[in-house]
Amino acid sequence: MNLKGKKAIVTGGSRGIGKAIVIELASQGCDVLFTYFSSVEAAQNVESESKKFGTKIRALQSDASKLSEAEKTVNYALESFGGLDILVNNAGISKDNLLLRMSENDFDDVITANLKSVFNFTKSSVKPMVGQRYGRIVNISSVVAITGNPGQANYVASKAGIIGFTKAIAKELASRDITVNAIAPGFVITDMTRKLNEKQKEAIINQIPLKKIGQPEDIARVVSFLVSENANYITGQVIHVDGGMVM
């Protein structure tokens, strides 16, 4: 897959799955602007690591939960790269707790950071994509959006909302050759999963037919496929990258 000359925005690209996506797109020849919320050093490391591919890599501190910040980010990408072809909505947080213990703020914060951010960046990116009659949008959901998960009502609701949003916007934009798809990762090695103890990891692996936890690169390669010319006839779909957890 060759993305040479394409211009992309990746939200939440300083670590984990987001970082892997930035590096994968850059390795395919894509210019990438990625956002981060607070991890300045991590963002600088991604910039440095990606420069070897010879493409333009820009990091921008941005709060994806705010529409005004999303608009500024898209404008910055248009000014820096001269266009925008690809949007990957990856930014997100978790604030887990049982429903009876979950505060209203914890519910609102997760919905805003995970779901409203997708609205913010998609709305801001669509105008240039519609104008050029081309665009590729990939939204990162989660396996728990399908299965549910106790202690994560806010997170599950936000990720399930992303799936519904993806399908609605895919239908709205298809006539302009803009595809919109979602990826539902299973358990992937990230900062969050590294905190699990061995007993918790073993319990997770027992739920996975492939008997292993995924890597961020497993998700990044599917993103690369969905934004490539090889996926021109795919839109409104949810791709499960979960080792077989959901069949």
Asked whether the beta carbons of 167 and 211 are under 8 A apart, the reply is no
Vertex 146 angle, CA 207 and 96, to 5°? 80
> How do strand 86-89 and strand 178-185 relate by DSSP bridges?
unpaired
Asked whether the beta carbons of 86 and 9 are under 8 A apart, the reply is yes
Q: Is 6 exposed, middle or buried (0-12, 13-18, 19+ CB in 10 A)?
A: buried
DSSP state, residue 228: S
pLDDT score for 200: 85
User: Tokens for 145?
Assistant: 């959006």
Q: Which of 164, 132, 130, 127 is nearest to 145 (CA)?
A: 164
Give average pLDDT by consecutive 10-residue segment, the chain, 247 residues.
93 96 97 95 94 95 97 98 98 96 98 98 98 98 96 98 98 98 94 79 92 96 98 98 95
Q: Which residues pair with 90 in a beta bridge?
A: none
Q: How far apart are CA 58 and CA 75, in angstroms?
A: 13
Which residues are within 8 A (CB) of 10 and not within 5 positions of it... i.e. 6 or more apart? 18, 21, 22, 25, 32, 33, 34, 35, 88, 90
Residue 18, CA distances (Å) to 24, 102, 125, 137, 138 in order: 10, 27, 18, 14, 12
pLDDT score for 192: 67
Q: Provide the annotated active-site residues.
A: 155
Vertex 219 angle, CA 85 and 190, to 5°? 120
pLDDT score for 79: 97
pLDDT score for 198: 87
Q: Which of 81, 115, 97, 102 is nearest to 11 (CA)?
A: 115
